[in-house]
Amino acid sequence: MDPPTSQSRWAIACSSVTFAITVVMVVAHMVPFCSTVVVATRAEGAIIFLLACFWTATVVIVTNPNNGLGASTAELNNQVSNGNLYYFSWAGFVTSIILLVNYWKQAFGVDVVGQVQNRAMRLSLWASYFCGSLVVMGASVQVFNDNNCADENPLLGETFCRRTKFAISVGAVGVVFSLFVVGMKMLTTTAPFIVEAVLAVILTFLNAFGVAYITSPSGPGSPIGNLYYFSWIAFICAAIILADCFNQYSGSRVAATTNDNSMNGSSKSSGDIEVENLEDQV
């Protein structure tokens, strides 16, 4: 049996420490006296922030194939080797972020989700697509380096390295375009609809080809892992953005048609001149 590595020690320490802290915080929330001292205080905020940092580092370590924890090494196709460790590391990270958002809302009245939704249409979708594309780019770069695609590794074949380069391009284009739209929406609360719609069409088709080429048996994302999941997540987000743009366009067309019909009807009714029947008054 191989001795534990520093990465495995970190995973054990993180899960142990966060479990102990979580048990203490749950008990504190259940006891009335402790809840008044802990809930929505700076101490709770510091603890939640610490947990988020712990799980961020854990996800990076566990999902790195070179560490041989949640995912196997490059020699074993970079696939998930320990499903419980892999998936629950992501679950711990997501839960810590949700806790952090809820703390901001309760302690400072900052509704992050509500503000994002009210800031501009589809901002949360574009932000989700940005995160997915960022992971796709990072994971494909890691695969590219681990498999020596820069030196055209003959053991993998030309197809694998070419599709890995395509995965990097898909992720990079998605990051740039989505960051552009998110920046416009954050600064001006809006973005030109035609620009957003055109980018949504381009990114949807680009990610459709990306999913087909990246997750195919000859692609770098064929093993179940970060690149596989986030390639699909990026494609789904792009498709939802495109569908929402189409719904907005269709709704505006229907509204314009309804306004035209109502205006035409009112003009016709106002243009009719009533003729008084004098015979009835005689």
Q: Where along the chain do its domains lie?
A: 1-110, 112-256
- Which residues is 80 bridged to in the sheet? 71
Residue 236 and residue 198 in contact, taking contact as beta carbons nearer than 8 Å: no
Looking at the chain, list the stretches that DSSP marks H as alpha helix, in order from N- to C-terminal side.
Answer: 6-30, 32-38, 42-62, 83-108, 112-119, 123-146, 158-188, 193-214, 226-271
Q: Which of 77, 94, 206, 215 is nearest to 146 (CA)?
A: 77
The reported pLDDT for the residue numbered 167 is 93
Gap between the Cα atoms of 257 and 252, Å rounded:
9
Q: What are phi and psi of 217, to 5 degrees?
A: -55, -30
Phi-psi region for residue 212, left (φ > 0), alpha (ψ -120 to 50) or beta? Answer: alpha
Report d(CA 237, CA 131) in Å as an integer.
Answer: 10
pLDDT of res. 15? 87
Question: What are the structure tokens assigned to 97, written together?
Answer: 């972020």
Q: Residue 234: its pLDDT value, please? A: 94
Count of residues making up the chain:
282
User: Could you tell me the CA-to-CA distances from 58 to 23, 47, 55, 93, 140 in Å, in that order?
Assistant: 19, 16, 5, 8, 20
The pLDDT value recorded for residue 2 is 59
pLDDT tens per residue across span 244-260: 988 888 877 776 677 66
* CA 14 distance to own-chain centroid: 25
By the 10 Å C-beta count (0-12 exposed, 13-18 middle, 19+ buried), 241 is classed as buried
Which parts of the chain have pLDDT scores under 50? 1, 269-278, 281-282
Quote the pTM value: 0.74
Identify the pLDDT of residue 110. Answer: 57
